[in-house]
Chain A
Amino acid sequence: MTVETTTSVTGLRNRPFGAARSERWSQLAPYAALAAIAAVLPWIGNEYWAVIGTRAAIYWVLVAGLNLIVGFAGQLAIGYVALLTLGAYTTSVLVAGNVIPAVPLPLAFGAATVIGAVFGLVVGLPALRLRTFYFAMSTLGFATIVTQIALAWKSVTGGGIGIVAPEFPAPFNTPWGFYGFCLIVAAIATWMSANVAHSRFGRALVAIRDAEVAAEANGISKVQFLVPVFLLGGAMAGIAGGLFATLQTYVTPDAFTFDLSVLFFIAILIGGRGSILGPLLGTILLTILPEFAAPLAAWSTFLYAVLLLVIVLAVPGGIADLIDFKNRRPLTDAREIQPQPALLSRVIARQPGSQPLSLRNVVLAFGGVRALDGLDLDVQPGRVHGLIGPNGSGKTTALNVISGYYAPQNGSVALGGATLELGHPESRASHGIARTFQTPRIVGEASVLENVMIGATVTGRATFLETLLALPRRATDERVLKAKATAALTAVGLETLADIRANRLQHSELRFVEIARALMLSPAFLLLDEPAAGLSADEIDRLGSLITEISRQGTGVLLVEHHADLIFAICERVTVLNLGRVLAEGAAAEIRVHKEVVSAYLGA
């Protein structure tokens, strides 16, 4: 295949150096504008405006954290007002000294942060195991209970009468002074949540939300990525609670109605999932809206609910979608995928391995049906191995056993000398086993480049804390991943679509995006599940050359495929399955003429 420069298909020509910088500025511009407005507010507004501005800033401190949980990770935590309540009572009770001797204000805020984080995790834990609706319910139940306790535990919380909130020292004890303080906290919250969002952590959260199965195949375990975010979200809610108490001057249970939870939640959805600017605008909007429509104040929650329904049904993408002008530009229809297999060496660059991937006597039954009935299979590194057979013969099941989605009742899967843990899909990426899916599992709302970067999540070096504080390793990670993802996209022939939102791509393009994502691991073994389905004849030819070249780089490829011509064109060995067992195995040329195979595969 000739390597030629691909023509730009999106209208976004290869941009000159420096365009990236100007794009960065255009991304920051809205935040700068908001900061400017916030800064001039004291000169144009009265103290009433100071209170509203402060309230918006405090809400945002909570929403910025919650946004990572709801907007990015897609976990429907709807009772977050409970953590605000906890934070408010923690600072008030500690500073008032009605339980233990009074503590200084900063220490009280420290305690609110810790308690927020701990309960953020406790409330979040069910999300690691339960289905969406169950999790939503458990957060709702938690919110109800916190309010009930606040009412009933009179000796600590003052019950329905409430408790005096801590006062800030000068210069933060005036409305505008406190406004300034909250603004600074809100700015820090924005910065931190952006640091997380634009990192492997943020992309992993979005993958958990939109492509959970693919996330696991890429080594993203829910525990590892959700726990730090629950801690962060809880901590930020705790801090917001402390600030909220001071703003209220007096803390009573009825200040923390479920309506507030709804407001936080809707601010994120109006803003748009997976965005930071959107939910920020949403928070500001929802905070000031009732002020403009005073006669409707009683109806505000009703209107929020109407808004929520309209958003869900009409604009699931929220504000972020409406202001995403970049993805409005039409793509040309006549675009071709032109892989450049010659460039693969830049992506894979692995030492040719010598260890085979082997299955021994694998038995897996669903109910009474034996999907795999004593399967033995050896895939050699650097070879293309075809796996064919009639429907229900166990091809995809075998793939799912190797990649850990199914735990067989018997048998073993080993990579060289190392036995792989059965039934742990998130452990495969670190063994260098990557895969694609029959139906591409892609994060539709993320860009193509981000989707590909998800493939190398496990290779990132920066910890969550380093990422949160933007320490140097975060930037290094980003640079390395981006360069590699660009190389992978170029190799599969999609580099011109890198910035495009993935759900705008055609089906065939998504298949190549999945391959690029899988290549990010520099995999020792690549499992392809019907990669040619839905491709045109030309595309299948190009896919074939790409797969052949991948194997030449040292990666062993296991190819499950229905297109017999592709199998026999590129596979060195072919295994034929029937009824969960090996019907025949051998060099492709032998299998091609094997009478029994031809009849079983074609069905006669």
Chain B
Amino acid sequence: MDFGATLLPILASGLAVGAIYALIGVTYNTMYSTSRVMSFTSGQLGMLGGVLGSLFILRLGMPLIVGFVLTIMACAIVGVVTEFIAVRPVLKSLDQHLYVLSTLALALMIQQFTAIEWSTEPQPFPRLFGLGSGSFDEKFWLPVAACAFTIGALELMQRHTLVGRAFLAVSEDNFAARSLGLPERNLRIASYALAGAIGGLAGFAGGELMLAFFANGGQYNFYGFVPVALGGLGNNRGSIVGGLALGLFQQAANFLVGGVFASVAVFIAFIIVLLAAPQGLFGTSTARRV
């Protein structure tokens, strides 16, 4: 196989989309950790990161840094809105799975609103730095850098800040955390804001590759969930490994056999792995039902 012509582009684009999927997976996990809810808005946040970046920087002509900060802040707000509208009201009845419906409804609202008010066609995303070309273009390595930055920042936060430890505590044993007097509700809201920012960062960093397109939301929802399912719920490292593997697999199949069959292959692999290991490849079963 010709390294320069085939392998390198596969590697570059595979790692890039894989990093985006991995970050969406982290978005799912961050929301899940404090609320035990998987939210369909995770992928939409990624889509918004691309659309808002394009809106602020290209259409409204803001400087890069201002556009970036505004995008992340707006996505964090959407995260908090998710918590208020679609999560908190159904937390009391988690076993009825109403959250699947409430977050799906909110995700559809976000997606439809974007389609109508933004565009139903993919719109260009600004060239951010103009660094690199070919397989080393920034559009390939920016998502990877964003992914590495996020993981590093999350690890630092969990190891070295009290808030980070409190997140871990709430996620491990919500009841014990409440009995200690930890502000469980505020921590949950904060985790949704954080998830929003991570999702927004994924979409912004991947904007040059995936463009500002409303339908990315649905794609991100599914392909971002695959690494979560494979890696085990709430397991960020599993999501990163799963996301990068998924990206490489998908892009290799894309180059070698064509896009549709790549999608089919991903889907079939997803179902088979899940049926064989419902807890994910790195997850553990803990639930007692009776």
Residues of A within 8 A of B (CB): 74, 76, 78, 125-126, 129-134, 136-138, 140-142, 144-145, 148-149, 151-153, 213, 258, 262, 269, 298-299, 301-302, 304-306, 308-309, 312-313, 316, 366, 396, 400, 405-406, 437
Contact = CB atoms under 8 A, between A and B. Distances in A.
Given A129-B278, A305-B105, A313 B90 contact: yes
Contacts of B263: 144-145, 148
Contact of A133 (B38, B106, B112, B270): B38
Nearest to B268: A145
Contacts of A74: 97
Nearest to A138: B271
Nearest to A144: B222
Contacts of B104: 78, 136, 305, 308
A312 B101 contact: yes
9 cross-chain pairs, A with B, having the tightest CB-CB distances, nearest first = A305-B108, A309-B105, A302-B112, A308-B105, A152-B260, A132-B97, A133-B38, A305-B109, A405-B290
B21 to A, nearest CB: 13
B170 to A, nearest CB: 20
Interface of B: 38, 85-86, 89-90, 96-98, 100-102, 104-106, 108-109, 112-113, 116, 218-219, 221-222, 225, 229, 258-260, 263-264, 267, 270-271, 274-275, 278, 288-290
A308 B267 contact: no
SS of B interface (majority): helix
Contacts of A144: 218-219, 222, 263
Contacts of B109: 302, 305-306, 309
B100 A138 contact: no
A137 B225 contact: yes
A551 B89 CA distance: 46
Contacts of A134: 229, 274, 278
Given A126-B275, A138-B271, A145-B263, 18 more contacts: A133-B97, A133-B100, A134-B229, A137-B222, A138-B270, A144-B222, A145-B267, A149-B260, A152-B260, A258-B218, A298-B116, A299-B116, A301-B108, A302-B109, A305-B112, A309-B105, A312-B101, A406-B290
Contacts of B278: 129-131, 134
Given A133-B38, A316-B98, A309 B85 contact: yes
Contact of A308 (B101, B222, B225, B264): B101
A196 to B, nearest CB: 23
A258 B104 CA distance: 12
A78 B107 CA distance: 14
B108 A213 contact: no
Nearest to A122: B271
A309 to B, nearest CB: 4
A312 B98 contact: yes
A299 B113 CA distance: 8
Contacts of A308: 101, 104-105, 108
SS of A interface (majority): helix
Contacts of B260: 148-149, 151-153
Nearest to B98: A312
A309 B90 CA distance: 11
28 contacts: A74-B97, A78-B104, A125-B275, A126-B274, A130-B274, A130-B275, A132-B100, A134-B274, A136-B100, A137-B221, A137-B222, A138-B274, A144-B219, A149-B260, A152-B258, A152-B259, A213-B290, A301-B112, A302-B113, A305-B105, A305-B108, A305-B109, A308-B108, A309-B85, A309-B106, A312-B98, A312-B105, A396-B290
A437 B258 CA distance: 54
Contacts of B112: 299, 301-302, 305
A398 to B, nearest CB: 12
Given A134-B274, A145-B263, A400-B290, A304 B100 contact: no
A142 B267 contact: yes
B101 A149 contact: no
A312 B218 contact: no
A294 to B, nearest CB: 16
A262 B105 CA distance: 9
A189 B270 CA distance: 34
A310 to B, nearest CB: 9
A76 B218 contact: no
